A and B are shown apart, each in its own frame.
Chain A
Amino acid sequence: MTDATTGRSRRLLRDEVYDEIRTAILDGTLEPGEPLTDEDVMRWLNVSRPPVREALNRLADVGLVEIHAHKRTRVASLDVRDINEALFVTGVLHEASIRASVGQLDDAARDDVIRYRDEVRAAADDDDRPSLGPAVSEFFLTFERATGNQVMVDTVEAQTARLLRFLTPRQGLVSPGALADTVDAIAAAALDGDAARAGDLAHALYEPTRRNFVELHRTV
């Protein structure tokens, strides 16, 4: 069928399947390393094979599933060291961007700070982890963009896939409420033009990452 309406609903179905699986991975319903066959997903979501295959391929592109030989698919394993390393890099660059940009935020940047601060708070209040991660990323990317340094923006954005899962339920995770509180405090300092305070708050937010890395992951 080439009817425009059908074409549209088909595209929506594909997106829906993608969103359902993505949410289940990010909120921990589907566990790291769990096998994910086409048939299971087809039965679970009551859909045909093509949208399932497409969704799984897209999820593989963003690093949430792994597709091995013979189309054996699994939820990507949660490599805590990978996440920790990416957190260190993004934490350092967030802090540097905040210190460099807070004194010179234009109106558009200030609006973004407020908008993403509110999105973080809303996601935390609803315990909506799949939305929380992207909202936090966008909040901090506001400062990277405000520096006008494209290398800074690109380096942080390149870590998005790994960081998508930093809020997947696991041990020692910062609570969504505490995260939203810190984002609130950074936003308040940034809107005040207090770069030193906003930078110090960002530094403190990433302190556990630095401590964990040396204690748990460092092998050199």
Chain B
Amino acid sequence: MPVPDRRPPRRLVRELVYERFRDGIISGELAPGARLDDGWLQEWLDASRTPVREAIGRLGREGLLDVRPQRGTHVAPLDAAALLDRLAVITALIVASTAEAVPLLTEDDDAELTRLEAALEDAPLSDPVVLEPLEFFVARYGNRLLVTIVDNLLPHLRRALVAVSRADDGSRAVPPVRSALAAARRRDREATTDGLRAHLDEVADLVRTTLGDGSTR
């Protein structure tokens, strides 16, 4: 029997490095605006130059890093105006795809909705589960392009929620998304989209009041 190669396959290494890097940005361990030196990153991510450079490129395209020739790589600043722009796009796409997805739900989906509802009960704002309902409805609709776009936007939102909850000691309650999940189980399309919209509007308010200068566009 050949000795199994215990190194993870190359594709997996790339993915792992990217995810570790992205999670460091989301959690704030890599602070907004921080300058990231290639050598330091290789050490911090415990990876060689190629996957690190690749992750830098991808995170640059997703807007989580500012990558400029001659000026180095910086963690993108936590900019309330840019976040609100992203939120406006996410809200429109989530509400529209959820309206299409609700009539397509099955009994299997109800089990997942129930699980999410329970998980959200005591979740702090910084918990990734807070945004999972959005991913759930987008996935159920099945528009692949939409999944990609939302996947690119959500890390920004996750980072914002972590920053918001740090700014007020995690005392802030999770905005009302559980009502949307219950409405989806009743196949009440309107109440579901209304609940999600209210959820995202409250997130936008938190971003505006906690991270912004309080002004609106």
Q: Chain A: residues with CB nearer than 8 A to chain B?
A: 82, 85-86, 88-89, 92-93, 95-96, 100, 147-152, 155, 159, 210, 213-214, 217-220
Name the residue on B nearest A90 (C-beta).
Answer: B145
Q: Chain B: residues with CB nearer than 8 A to chain A?
A: 82, 85-86, 88-89, 91-93, 96-97, 100, 104, 139-146, 149, 153, 217
Roughly how many angstroms separate A217 CA and B142 CA in the complex, as a whole number?
A: 9
Is chain A's interface secondary structure helix, strand, loop, or mixed overall?
helix
Roughly how many angstroms separate A96 CA and B82 CA in the complex, as a whole number?
A: 17
B16–chain A nearest beta-carbon distance, Å: 27
> Which residue of the partner chain, among A93, A96, A150, A219, contacts B142 with CB atoms under 8 Å?
A219
What are 27 pairs between A and B in contact, CB < 8 Å?
A82-B145, A85-B143, A85-B145, A85-B146, A88-B143, A88-B145, A88-B146, A89-B93, A92-B97, A93-B89, A93-B92, A93-B93, A96-B92, A148-B217, A149-B88, A151-B85, A151-B86, A151-B153, A152-B85, A152-B88, A152-B89, A213-B100, A213-B143, A214-B100, A214-B104, A218-B104, A218-B141
Whether the pair B146, A155 counts as a contact (CB closer than 8 A) is: no
Roughly how many angstroms separate A95 CA and B88 CA in the complex, as a whole number?
A: 12
Known: A85-B143, A88-B145, A155-B149. 14 other contacts (CB 8 A): A82-B145, A89-B143, A92-B93, A92-B97, A93-B92, A95-B92, A96-B88, A96-B91, A151-B153, A152-B85, A155-B89, A217-B142, A220-B140, A220-B142
Whether the pair A218, B142 counts as a contact (CB closer than 8 A) is: yes
B103–chain A nearest beta-carbon distance, Å: 9
Name the residue on A nearest B63 (C-beta).
Answer: A151
Give every chain B residue within 8 A of A150 (Cβ-Cβ).
85
Name the residue on B nearest A211 (C-beta).
Answer: B100
Closest 7 A-B residue pairs measured CB to CB?
Answer: A96-B92, A220-B142, A85-B145, A151-B85, A92-B96, A149-B85, A218-B142
B204–chain A nearest beta-carbon distance, Å: 13
Roughly how many angstroms separate A219 CA and B89 CA in the complex, as a whole number?
A: 25
Roughly how many angstroms separate A77 CA and B144 CA in the complex, as a whole number?
A: 18
Give every chain A residue within 8 A of B139 (Cβ-Cβ).
220
Roughly how many angstroms separate A166 CA and B153 CA in the complex, as a whole number?
A: 26
Roughly how many angstroms separate A152 CA and B90 CA in the complex, as a whole number?
A: 10
Give every chain B residue within 8 A of A210 (Cβ-Cβ).
100
Give every chain B residue within 8 A of A218 (Cβ-Cβ).
104, 141-142
Name the residue on A nearest B153 (C-beta).
Answer: A151
> Which residue of the partner chain, among A82, A151, A219, A220, contacts B82 with CB atoms under 8 Å?
A151
B84–chain A nearest beta-carbon distance, Å: 8
Give every chain B residue within 8 A of A100 (Cβ-Cβ).
88
> Which residue of the partner chain, among A95, A148, A149, A214, contacts B89 with CB atoms under 8 Å?
A149
